Amino acid sequence: MALTVAPVVFVLLWSTGFVGAKYGLPYAEPFTFLALRLALAGALLAGLAAVLRAAWPADRTQAGRAGIAGLLLHAGYLGGVFFAIDSGLPAGVASVVVSLQPVLTAALATRLLGERLIAVQWLGLVLGVGGVALVLAPGLVGAVGTEGAFPPVGVASCLVALLCGTAGTLWQKQHGDDIPLLSGTAVQYAAAALLLVAVAGATETMAIEWTAEFVAALVWLVLPLSLGAVLLLLFLLRRGSASGVSSLLFLVPPATAVESYLLFGEELPLLSLAGVVVTTVGVALVLRPPGRRTTSAG
């Protein structure tokens, strides 16, 4: 039952992360906001692990592997997304760009995790990349120099997030199965928070406006997202393949688009909406299982 419900809950929670980021970013700079979120989440998880007397990473090797996963999945992926949205990239567009993660994961898994792609899946790779190009085209080409243009720095930041998220997913699948879930995630958050504090200290004022909106966004991002959704992600990675779990992310852009429209009035041009459809089809083809797959190396 848990394995049936967990993916649905994960998608619903994960999609709200883009909205929560946009909701809180007017009141704090991106790296400061994210460092605070991860520090709080890490402290809560460490406290929970202590109360439950959960195991901790057995040695420095396990702790180091957890730390690397944290730098990629949280500092790199979330940091890139937060910076992109803070730079003016619509939350819906950001979610579409990083939804290419399952495409990259499936492609890299051919070498790293022993999975093979068939011809139709390679076609899906092409469609996925082309779909994202359609999503971004109105803001990068047709609207250059206009009010509706997508900020290039925001797009670049989203691409960094995409690469970090893909690398983090593959790293976690290869090295994370033996690391205790609660304490290992706390180590991930601590490592990411330390890096983000350093980056924020060097590039931001670190000022925060403690409005009701900011507190609400922070609480939501810490509890349902950093504790609920991320633990679900790591749980699902232990039970399934990296490409299979990543495939859930292609369901996130439609949910984020609806949430962004309802809360912020964000609308995507017709060409961008077509790109969402093309990207979804492409990812679905990439993740279409061939007759037989080799067993993933854990």
Question: Residue 126 and residue 147: Cα distance in Å, rounded?
Answer: 30
Q: pLDDT per residue over 149-197, tens digit each?
A: 778 899 899 999 999 999 998 898 788 878 888 899 999 999 999 999 9
Residues linked to residue 208 through DSSP beta bridges, in sequence order: 28
Residue 215 included in any domain:
yes
Residue 104 included in any domain:
yes
Q: Coil, strand, or helix at residue 100? A: coil
Q: Which residue has tokens 């950093």?
A: 226
Residue 191 included in any domain:
yes
Q: Which residue has tokens 């109360």?
A: 51
| Residues 215/166, Cβ–Cβ less than 8 Å | no
Residue 103 half-sphere exposure, CB side, CA atoms within 13 Å?
28
Residue 298 included in any domain:
no
Gyration radius of the chain's alpha carbons: 19
Residue 291 included in any domain:
no
Question: Residue 190 and residue 71: Cα distance in Å, rounded?
Answer: 9
Residue 128 half-sphere exposure, CB side, CA atoms within 13 Å?
27
The residues, any chain, with a CB within 8 Å of residue 74's CB and separated by 6 or more, are 34, 38, 188, 189, 192
Q: pLDDT per residue over 226-254, tens digit each?
A: 888 877 877 777 766 555 566 666 667 66
pLDDT for position 250: 64
Residue 66 included in any domain:
yes
In the chain, how many domains are there? 1
Query: Which of 23-27, 73-77, 175-179 shows the lowest mean pLDDT across its residues?
Result: 175-179
Residue 15 included in any domain:
yes
**Residue 258 scores a pLDDT above 60:** yes
Q: Coil, strand, or helix at residue 46? A: helix
Amino acid at 159: L
Domain that holds residue 251: 2-286
| Residues 240/100, Cβ–Cβ less than 8 Å | no
Residue 294 included in any domain:
no
